[in-house]
Structure 1
Amino acid sequence: MSRLLTCLAFCLCFSTGIALEADAADLANPLAYAPPAVTHSLISEIRGGVFVHALGTREDGSVDINGEVLFSKPLMPADPLMAFLVPRLHLGATVNTAGATSEFYAGFTWTYDITAKVFIEGSVGAGFHNGETGRFRVPDRLSLGCSPLIRGTGSIGYRFNENWSIMATVEHISNANLCHANQGLTNYGVRVGYSF
C-alpha cells in the first residue's frame, strides 16, 4: 500500500511539472490532514497547554491555562485536498491565572500536514469572555468592546507519533471594529495534543 501511494504521488507531481523534494517516507502520506475512513469516536483529539497572556499590553504579566477538545470530522472525503477543506469542530477555554480576561470558545479548525511529522493549523470561531466591555478604561484591563468576540488561532506543530503532538500557538480575540472599543487580546503559548 505504501508503494502504491508513493507511485501515485510521483505520477501526480510529474504530470503537473512539480519538482519532488520530499523524501520517500513523506510521499507515502497525504499532504492534507485525512482522518481514518472509519471514525472510532466522537472526539478526535484533546489538547492542553500554557499561554503568555496579552504580552505587551496593560494585561500582561500573567499566564493562561488552555484546554481544548476537537471533534471528529462529519465527512471524510477520500481526496486529501477535500479532506483538508472539511474542518473539525472545537470547544475550549483559556483561563487566566491572575484574574485577567478569560474566555470560553467554539469554532472550526483546519489542519494541513506539511510532512508526516510537521503540520500547520488555523482556526476561527467565537470567544465568550469575562473582560471589560465598557467605554471607560480600567487601568489593568483591556477594553474589548463586547462579547462574544471573533477568535482566531494559528499554530505550527510536530507529531511525535500517531497519538502525541506539540504545537506553538498564537490566539487572538477581537470584535473587528463592530463595537465601540476594539483593543483585542493576543496570547502566545505551547500546547500538547493527544489524538484518539
Structure 2
Amino acid sequence: MRVPTVIATAFACCLGAGGASAADVGTTETPMPTPVGMRGGFLSEARFGVFSVDPFSEDGAQAAAVHGELLFQRPFTPADLFASYFVPRPHIGGSLDLDGGVSFAFAGLTWSVDLGPRVFVEASLGGALQETRASAFTDAGLEDGVAAGCGPSLRESASVGYRISDAWSFVASVEHLSNNGLCDTPTSMTNFGARLGYSF
C-alpha cells in the first residue's frame, strides 16, 4: 500500500513542477522580430552608369556624366505586397560631369513597383547640391549656360528596370533638377542615362 502512495505523490509533484515550468515559459518576454527590410543589412543596391547631360538644352551642348547611386533597405516591409510599394528606399548618389560642367550630389527616397518577375518601375524624389560655377544649366539667350548659383535644387527621377539575374539589373532613367527660385536665375536640367545595378 505504501508503494502506490509514494508513486502517486511523486507523479503529483512532477505535474506541479511541469505546470510551474510552463507558466514560467509563458511569461518570458520574446525578442522583437527584425524587420524584413533590415535582415540583409543596410545596403539594398548599388548602381553605376553614364548619363547624357541636358541633351535638349538651348545651346545644344553635348556632355556626359558618370553617375553612381546607393539605395538602402526599406526601414520596414509590410506583409502585404501592395502596401510595401508605398514604403520607399532611401538613396544617396553623385554625378560627375566629364566635360567640365557642374557635378552634383543628391539624396532622397525611391519607390519601386514590380510589373512582373523581372520588369519594374521606379520614381524618386529628393534634393541635390551642385557646384556653383558655370554649368550645363541653360537659359534662353545664354549660349554658355548659367551659373548654378546657390547650389541646392530639387531632383526628381523616373526609371524602368529589367532584372538580368537575382543580383544584376539594367536600369534606364531620366532625372530632372531645378532650383525652383532658390537662385537668382531660374534654371533646370534634364538628364537621360542607363545604369547597371547590383543587389546585395
The TM-score by the shorter chain falls in which range? Answer: 0.7 to 0.9
- 2:167 is matched with which residue? 163
Contact 1:59 1:100 in 2 (8 A): no
Do the aligned partners of 1:59 and 1:142 also contact (CA within 8 Å) in 2?
no
Q: Do the aligned residues in 1 keep the contact of 2:169 with 2:198 (CA within 8 Å)? A: yes
Which residue of 2 is the match for residue 150 of structure 1? 154
Pick closer, same or farther for the CA change 1:169–1:77 going to 2, 3 Å: same
Distance 1:96 1:38, change over 3 A: closer
For residues 172-195 of structure 1, the C-alpha deviation after alignment (integer angstroms, 9 at most, x for no partner) is 100234443222011101011000
Contact 1:151 1:173 in 2 (8 A): yes
Q: Please give the secondary structure, in 2, of the residue aligned with 1:182.
A: coil
Code of the residue aligned with 1:65 in structure 2: it is: V
Q: Quick check: 2:38–2:75 contact (8 Å CA) kept in 1?
A: no
Change in CA separation of 1:143 and 1:179 when aligned onto 2, cut-off 3 Å: same
Give the match for residue 70 of structure 1: 71
Aligned partner of 1:184 in structure 2 is 188
1:23-102 matched pairs, under 5 angstroms:
39-57=39-57, 58=59, 60-102=61-103
| Secondary structure in 1 matching 2:39 | coil
Output one character per residue of 1:88-134: Cα deviation in whole Å (capped at 9) or x when no partner.
0100001100110111000000000011111000001010001448x
Higher Cα radius of gyration: 2
User: Contact conserved, 2:38 with 2:76, CA < 8 A, in 1?
Assistant: no
How far did residue 144 of structure 1 move? 4.0
In structure 2, relative to structure 1, the CA distance for the partners of 1:177 and 1:38 (3 Å cut) is closer
Q: 1:145 offset after TM fit, Å? A: 4.7
Unpaired runs of 5+ in structure 1?
Answer: 1-34
Q: Normalising to structure 2: TM-score of the pair?
A: 0.73
The answer to whether residue 198 in structure 2 is matched with residue 194 in structure 1 is: yes
Q: Once the two structures are aligned, what percentage of the paired residues are identical? A: 37
Mapped contact 1:52–1:188 kept (Cα < 8 A): yes
Q: Secondary structure, in 3 states, of the residue corresponding to 1:67?
A: strand
CA spacing shift, 1:140–1:95, aligned 2, 3 Å:
same
Whole-angstrom CA distance in 2 between matches of 1:116 and 1:148: 37
- Contact conserved, 1:108 with 1:125, CA < 8 A, in 2? yes
Question: Measured at CA, do residues 141 and 132 of structure 1 come closer, stay the same or move farther in structure 2, by a change above 3 Å?
Answer: farther
- Matched length: 160
CA separation of 1:179/1:162 partners in 2, compared to 1, >3 Å: closer, same or farther? Answer: same
Give the letter for the 1:151 counterpart.
R
Matched residue SS, 1:77: coil
Tell me, which stretches of 5 or more residues in structure 2 are unaligned?
1-34
